[in-house]
Amino acid sequence: MFSEKSAKAGIAFPKGFKAAGVKAGIKKSGNLDLALIYTEKEAAVAGVFTKNAVAAAPVIVDREHIKNGKVHAIVANAGCANACTGEVGLKNAQEMAKLAAKELGCDPYDVLVGSTGIIGVNLPMDKMAAGIKAAAAELSTDGSVNAGNAIITTDTYSKACSCAVQIDGREVRFGAIAKGSGMIQPNMATMLCYISTDANISAPLLQKTLSDIVEVTFNMISVDGDMSTNDTVLVLANGEAGNAEIKEGTEAYKVFYNSLKEICQELSKRIAADGEGATKFLTINVHGTKTFDDAKAIGMSIAKSPLVKTAFFGEDPNWGRVICAVGYAGVDMDPDKTIIKFGNIPVYANGLGAAYDDEALRQVMENHDIVIDVEMGLGDAAATVWSCDFSYEYVKINGEYHT
């Protein structure tokens, strides 16, 4: 579904969208650090944000701006989270929108903002102003790569993907850029994710759709169990594809829903796999619970366990740490009915460790991608969680990441 060519087009792949990424001097590294995304035709908008009670100024501003249901642009920076910055921070976030609106000829309420980086530091607004002006001048359909690189922090690469589907005989495109590597824990993460589409869909239905999809994608990942102050997922739909307005319950809606879900799921996996210092990508499938929430709780309990994560870093098939995490997940379980598999090899069953081929399991543990299956034997519900290991590098990155 995702091609390398369309991924490079990313957020600017759908008709009517342009993007840019510039060096505004916010990052100490001197790398790209300010992104601008723009659609001349007004777009329906939906957003999902952090559930952290300590929300950053950009989140506060965006929650207010999306109430209108229509926007033209997103401006975002890396290098400074603009979180825990009080009234000054709130005014600065509002000023970001005003500066972009001035350059683009739209209302400030038609601009959404995002920030990521150090908490408790004020934005350098002189640099922001110059950066926004420069980004507006560089907007193009080829600007997605720079825009994606301008929002990353400890990521090893910018996450981007795009696709095209047929809806009502029209080609409908989707594009996205995202960042996320550390402080990754539902409900969402230190994550900025911006998705564009040229589909024709109303803002209320877009919001309902995004909220539903986030629950089974971005809210199913964990790198380190920490919830950020800045988490933001935004979807803009400008209708440039020319399809009839998508209505819930139709075949067109099914195609739209599945396409958006696939993009969100792909980005979720990439964020989890690119966890700070990660050497393993863990897919945790939990089956046979009474409810989805039970399955998610068990998957998250395993994903967040430092002992489980360090065991996989050390390529040690320590199933005891996994069954322990299942046991303290806080949901119904029967140890005698629970089965745990690493790479389809049973390692725990009937309340005891299972006999397994040491060499076969060693090969599983050496892989970068490892699947953990947990069968609970209590019902028909299931959930999948994505995570990674903890390495020495994770400690080094976060020990050196300070103000």
pLDDT value at position 187?
36
The pLDDT-based confidence of 185 (bands split at 50, 70, 90) is: very low
pLDDT value at position 162?
95
pLDDT value at position 92?
98
CATH number of the 281-400 domain: 3.10.20.340
Letter for the amino acid at 90? L
DSSP per residue, 30-48: -S--EEEEEEEEEEEEEEE
Report the distance separating Cα 332 and Cα 191, nearest Å. Answer: 32
Q: For the residues 100-120, what does the mean pLDDT come to?
A: 95
Structural domain boundaries of the chain? 4-268, 281-400
- Would you name the residues annotated as active-site residues? 190
pLDDT value at position 190?
59
pLDDT value at position 6?
53
* Nearest C-alpha neighbor of 324 from the set 312, 313, 342, 338: 338
Range with lowest mean pLDDT among 86-90, 132-136, 182-186: 182-186
pLDDT value at position 186?
41
The pLDDT-based confidence of 184 (bands split at 50, 70, 90) is: very low
Q: Decide if pLDDT at 403 tops 60.
A: no
Q: Where are the beta strands (DSSP E) in 58-108?
A: 70-78
* C-alpha 400 chain-centroid distance: 24
The pLDDT-based confidence of 29 (bands split at 50, 70, 90) is: confident
Report the distance separating Cα 86 and Cα 336, nearest Å. Answer: 53
pLDDT value at position 398?
61
pLDDT value at position 183?
46
Q: Decide if pLDDT at 207 tops 90.
A: yes
Contact 287, 374 (CB under 8 A): yes
Q: Decide if pLDDT at 3 tops 50.
A: no
* CATH class entry, domain 4-268: alpha beta
pLDDT value at position 394?
66
The pLDDT-based confidence of 236 (bands split at 50, 70, 90) is: very high
Quick: pLDDT tens for 363-378: 999 999 999 999 999 9
Contact 39, 73 (CB under 8 A): yes
* Nearest C-alpha neighbor of 318 from the set 302, 334, 332: 302
